Amino acid sequence: GLREVLITGGLAPITNRPVDEVYAATWARVREANQRYHARYPGDLDRLRTILRRLDEDDVRLPNGDRLTSRRFRQTGMWLGDSAGFERLHHLLELPFGSAAFMVDAQMASSWERNPIYATLHESSYADGGATRWSAHRLAPEEAMTGDLLGAEHVFPWMWDDYAGLRAHREVAQLLAEHPWPRLYDADRLARNEVPVAATVYVDDVYVERSFAEETARGVRGLRAWVTNEYAHNGLRADGERIVGRLLDMVRGRA
């Protein structure tokens, strides 16, 4: 069995919350992140709109041969959930459009194909009973599809066309999106949990809705939550030694 558990990347809902509620919340979060970004770098909105327009007009190819579409470029919003992500996005938008540096960095910014299992299974992690049916795509605001709103940890069915590395998994992704998943979590059993648990809950997490995470924390017996605004979702990568140390202290009753 498990002696103790540390959770460093947020807590998923465990109370049969509909997947559409989850993605409605994450779209609201990413909209706030977009607004904070443009407040910090007000000159970047025009740059972004120019890039999106040119990608719609021209056949721009990435170093790996994939076409860089405007919808793929909007996925650079994934960076908005990292502690240094605003600066990374700003540096990308400042690069000359079409330059070698711009093309390489744009390919790295939208790298779902690096982890095809993550791309294919991610949305299913919120399918606590029922099918997702491409929830993030269905709930996406119009400006995230055709405007200047950047998305974050949202998967879309077109990704299995735009990313060469995902095309082999297109049929699997569609089957999983339509699959009627059973309940993923047993809330009653978690309420009787006997394993000590410590978890981070990031106040400004763009990927994991804080209110849902805190609800989960209350529903798991013996779980202690560290609610912090010191880190973004990538806290473990940004300062892993401190985070793991703090959680170990919490789970072992030293903090």
Which value, to the nearest 10 degrees, does the dihedral of the CA atoms of residues 245, 248, 252, 254 take? 20
Q: Which of 20, 5, 32, 23 is nearest to 217 (CA)?
A: 5
For the stretch 21-63, pLDDT in tens is: 999 999 999 999 999 999 999 999 999 999 999 999 999 999 9
For the stretch 86-129, pLDDT in tens is: 999 999 999 999 999 999 999 999 879 899 999 999 999 999 99
Question: Which pLDDT belongs to residue 18?
Answer: 95
Question: Which pLDDT belongs to residue 255?
Answer: 85
Q: Using CA atoms, how far apart are residues 243 and 37, in angstroms rounded to an integer?
A: 26
Q: Using CA atoms, how far apart are residues 155 and 121, in angstroms rounded to an integer?
A: 10
Q: How far is CA 182 from CA 14, 130, 162, 218, 245, in A?
A: 13, 6, 30, 23, 35
Instruction: For residue 104, give both structure tokens.
Output: 């390489």
> Is-contact 141 89, C-beta < 8 A?
no
Domains of the chain: 5-13+183-251 (3.40.50.1820), 19-178 (no CATH)
Mean pLDDT of the region 156-170? 96
Mean pLDDT of the region 56-71? 97
Question: Which pLDDT belongs to residue 64?
Answer: 94
Residue 16 has pLDDT above 90, yes or no: no
Question: Which pLDDT belongs to residue 10?
Answer: 86
> Is-contact 193 220, C-beta < 8 A?
yes
Instruction: For residue 205, give both structure tokens.
Output: 């997490």
For the stretch 174-218, pLDDT in tens is: 999 999 999 999 999 999 999 999 999 999 999 999 999 999 999
